[in-house]
């Protein structure tokens, strides 16, 4: 990272600007969420799309162009940029204007605005804002990872390392639970399952409310990037099933199956992964 951007991205004022931008996007979402009807259409992959996705997209893209006019933006709602162009990007914004559209449609509040900065294939800065819950997770290099709830003061967060024999707190998707995940959970000795939607699942590990999040169902890079940055700065890791860290800006932008856990946690990496092996084969 060159000196100019290193100074900018490690600035608390710049991070606060991004948090404010996520709140602005959340406000645009809430105008539609609080309406009588939610109009839903389909994307090319048959996933749902709402007017709220598009409203949030417009707010975020306009805001990022003002903050960093020279850094390209890749959004879920405008992801048709040719790989021949973006494969040479050293640094770019990766956003999901409304992560958890199914949660939005169900009106359970467990959806988020995700804004991430990717550099050399790794998420280095991230903001995850849940407008209904009014909670924001955010992180930047040298500053660390934080959570802010309502109008309270930001609180530093870190992952929680489970003790030997402690009941493992495992996060599972509320809307995308699959048979292999159910089999995985059945193979664990002692666990407590926490159901949650959207990128909030990764953030629960980042703040220590959960120990572990296995994701065996399909995801895209914009689903995870912002929360991945938060997990990193909180002392965790987001890795594939071989414990290789997830990388970004792949040609198809699909994530592999992945795990979210405290970094260098032998109680999980040894005991847990051995227990998981039958369900992962």
CATH 3.40.640.10 fits 3-156, yes or no: no
One CATH from 3.40.50.1820, 3.40.50.300, 3.40.190.80, 3.90.850.10 for 168-280: 3.40.190.80
pTM: 0.91
Residue 24 has pLDDT above 60, yes or no: yes
Let me know: does 203 contact 90? Beta carbons within 8 Å: no
Q: Mean pLDDT over residues 113-133, rounded?
A: 97
The domain limits of the chain are 3-156, 168-280
Neighbour-count burial for 89-128, b at 16+ CB within 10 Å, e otherwise: bebbbbbbbbbbbbbbbeeebbbbbbbbbbbeebbbbbbb
Mean pLDDT across the stretch 23-30?
96
Work out the average pLDDT over 261-272.
Answer: 74
> What average pLDDT does the segment 180-204 reach?
87
pLDDT of 272 higher than 70: no
Question: Can you tell me the mean pLDDT for 223-251?
Answer: 96
What pLDDT sits at residue 185? Answer: 79
DSSP run (H or E) holding 146: strand 144-149
pLDDT band of residue 269 (cuts 50, 70, 90) is: low
pLDDT: is 277 or 228 the higher one?
228
Is the pLDDT higher at 177 or at 80?
Answer: 80
CB 106 within 8 A of CB 95: no
* Overall average pLDDT of the 104-120 stretch: 94
With vertex at residue 275, the alpha carbon angle to CA 274 and CA 278, rounded to the nearest 5 degrees, is 90
Mean pLDDT value of segment 249-274? 83
Q: Quick one: pLDDT at residue 44?
A: 47
Return the pLDDT at 180: 79
CA 139/CA 148 separation, integer angstroms: 11
Higher pLDDT, 66 or 34: 66
Q: Output the pLDDT for position 182.
A: 81
């Amino acid at each position: 990272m060159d000196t100019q951007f290193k100074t900018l991205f490690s600035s608390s004022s710049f991070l606060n600007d991004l948090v404010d931008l996520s709140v602005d996007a959340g406000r645009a979402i809430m105008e539609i969420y609080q309406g009588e009807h939610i109009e839903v259409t389909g994307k090319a992959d048959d996933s749902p799309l709402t007017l709220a996705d598009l409203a949030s997209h417009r707010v975020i893209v306009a805001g990022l162009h003002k903050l960093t006019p020279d850094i390209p933006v890749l959004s879920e709602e405008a992801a048709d940029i040719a790989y021949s162009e973006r494969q040479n990007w050293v640094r770019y914004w990766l956003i999901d204007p409304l992560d958890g559209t199914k949660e939005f449609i169900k009106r359970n509040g467990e959806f988020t605005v995700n804004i991430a900065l990717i550099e050399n294939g790794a998420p280095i800065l991230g903001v995850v804002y849940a407008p209904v819950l009014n909670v924001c997770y955010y992180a930047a290099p040298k500053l660390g990872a934080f959570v802010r709830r309502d109008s309270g003061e930001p609180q530093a967060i870190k992952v929680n390392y489970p003790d030997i024999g402690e009941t493992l707190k495992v996060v599972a998707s509320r809307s995308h639970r699959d048979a292999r995940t159910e089999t995985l959970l059945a193979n664990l000795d002692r666990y407590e399952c926490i159901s949650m939607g959207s990128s909030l699942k990764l953030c629960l590990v980042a703040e220590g409310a959960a120990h572990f999040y296995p994701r065996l169902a399909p995801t895209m890079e914009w689903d995870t990037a912002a929360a991945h940055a938060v997990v990193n700065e909180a002392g965790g890791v987001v890795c594939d099933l071989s414990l290789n860290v997830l990388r970004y800006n792949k040609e198809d932008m699909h994530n592999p199956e992945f795990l979210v856990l405290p970094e260098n946690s032998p109680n999980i990496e040894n005991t847990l992964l051995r227990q998981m092996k039958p369900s992962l084969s």
